[in-house]
A and B are shown apart, each in its own frame.
Chain A
Amino acid sequence: MNSIHDMGGMHGFGPVVPEVNEPVFHEKWEGRVMALQRSLGVAGLWTIDMSRAAQEALPPQRYLAASYYERWLMGLEERVMQFDLVSPDEIETGHSLRPGPTLKRIFKPADADKMNRGNYARPSSASAIFAPGDRVRTTNINPVTHTRLPRYARDKVGVVEAVRGCHVFPDKVAIGEGEDPQWLYTLVFSGRELWGEEYDPSISVSIEAFEPYLRPE
């Protein structure tokens, strides 16, 4: 969806301000939220793209006003209710009032010794259409649902640099239509293609582009 999360190329957010000796977490609750998210992730109820889609659906004013972990917290609260793990009256009273559905897996303390990020590569059902060196044009799509094709890179010509395998397709999995695995490419654009012919010729930008985003040029 065309919302505020899709920030690439926007002006007006000011300078980047690195923090000296930044702690991993600024407040303890941030660590708890990160851990809750990580821990519940193993139940497999929702996918990373469903989580992203939920954040993207926040009104832009709320998205910008919330910190990174506040957005995670909003998403978590929403999803535990969506999947009936927690009910509004339990949030109200602060305690469990009834058992909920059984999860397929619970994150155990020992699991923290070997945390493994999910693998999104999948077997392919067809061979990749494009190869390194191919010139392609990205599609001009504007779905109201989740996509990983940023606005600044739509309807632009780039060159395929690498084929990264066949991966879960975010646009489909986020709307509950299954993983629909698609070939993934590293696609390089000249800065001038993205930002105009007066732009600095020494700069190029790549995106990781799923095959349905691409057309032969």
Chain B
Amino acid sequence: MTDDDFQSHDHSHDHPEGSELSETQIRVRTLETILSEKGYTDPVALDRIVEAFETRIGPHIGARVVARAWTEPEFRERLFEDATEAVNSMGLSSPVGSHLIAAENTESTHNMVVCTLCSCYPWEVLGLPPGWYKSAAYRSRAVIDPKGVLAEFGVTLPADINIRVWDSTAETRFIVVPMRPEGTDGWDQQKLATLVTRDSMVGTGLAKNANEVAP
């Protein structure tokens, strides 16, 4: 099946290739066809939404925010004071809603974000959530066994560090600001951003070490 087959709308419901489609694919195509025929949805708009989340809206945005917080004390202060305002001041194509909160990792506290009730995630700065974030395993265990979960991500923290888990039970959203790795003095924001992984901004990872990125 090509992209065209799926997205064009002049095919009839009993398309000869229909038998090759899964039941779910047929249900989605049917729903989209009817909604488009009625003018409720615009196929081009749907293409653009998908494209936005496949290209423009992703963890590279959060990485820029973190790299800036690492290098500009004034921005860092604004970020922890009002992350929504600080992040929107960077002119994102998809502005965050009113309730972004930044949680700072320090020598004494490691932050980790979950949504036990559904899969709330800060789409505007991290894009769509990965499969593991939406999994029953993560949603159930992050609040009761965060150290076990971190170990499965290969993260071991110093024994004396406190772990704070944030359960996203309302429309507030969270981005973790990981600790800046050693050996990165003098790096510009663009280079620093390459150290900031998606998982480090959810709290299931740490920022990469300086020697893990190309010089």
Q: What's the tally of chain B residues with a CB closer than 8 Å to chain A? A: 86
Known: A109-B44, A152-B143, A208-B172. A29 touches B137 (CB 8 A): no
Number of A residues near B (Cβ < 8 Å) is: 93
A103 near B170: Cβ-Cβ < 8 Å:
no
A18 with B98: CB separation less than 8 A: no
B107 at the interface (CB under 8 A from A): no
Do the beta carbons of B170 and A184 come within 8 Å of each other? Answer: yes
**How far, in Å, is A22 (CB) from chain B's closest CB?**
5
A16 with B50: CB separation less than 8 A: no
Asked whether any CB of chain A lies closer than 8 Å to the CB of B105, the reply is no
The residue of chain B having its C-beta at the shortest distance from the C-beta of A30 within the complex is B28
CA A113 to CA B49, docked complex, whole Å:
8
CB distance from A112 to the nearest CB of B (A): 3
List residues of chain B with CB within 8 A of the CB of A150. Answer: 116-117, 167, 169
In the bound complex, do residue B135 and residue A13 qualify as a contact, i.e. CB atoms below 8 Å apart?
Answer: yes
A61 and B123 CA atoms in complex are apart in Å by 28
> Cβ of A114: which chain B residues have Cβ within 8 Å of it?
93-95
Complex-state Cα separation, A106 to B199, whole angstroms: 35
Q: Which residues of B contact A14 (CB under 8 A)?
A: 137
- B99 adjacent to A121 (CB under 8 Å): yes
Identify the stretch in B34-42, B69-77, B188-196 within 8 Å (CB) of chain A at 4 or more residues. B34-42
Q: Are B99 and A16 in contact (CB under 8 A)?
A: no
Within 8 Å CB of A200, what residues of B?
147
- Please indicate the chain A residues that have their CB under 8 angstroms from the CB of B33 in the complex: 94-95
Does A15 touch B at the CB level, under 8 Å?
yes
Asked if A10 lies at the interface with its beta carbon under 8 angstroms from chain B, I say yes
> Could you name 26 residue pairs across A and B whose Cβ atoms are closer than 8 Å?
A7-B136, A7-B140, A8-B140, A9-B116, A13-B135, A16-B141, A16-B152, A32-B32, A32-B50, A34-B128, A38-B49, A64-B136, A96-B38, A106-B41, A113-B48, A116-B94, A116-B97, A150-B167, A153-B167, A164-B170, A194-B143, A195-B144, A204-B164, A205-B164, A205-B166, A207-B169
A interface residues with partner B (beta carbon < 8 Å): 5-19, 22, 24-29, 31-36, 38-40, 43, 48, 52, 55, 64, 68, 70, 73, 76-77, 80, 85-86, 90-91, 93-96, 99-100, 103, 106-109, 111-121, 148-150, 152-153, 164-165, 167-168, 170, 184, 186, 188, 194-195, 200, 202-210
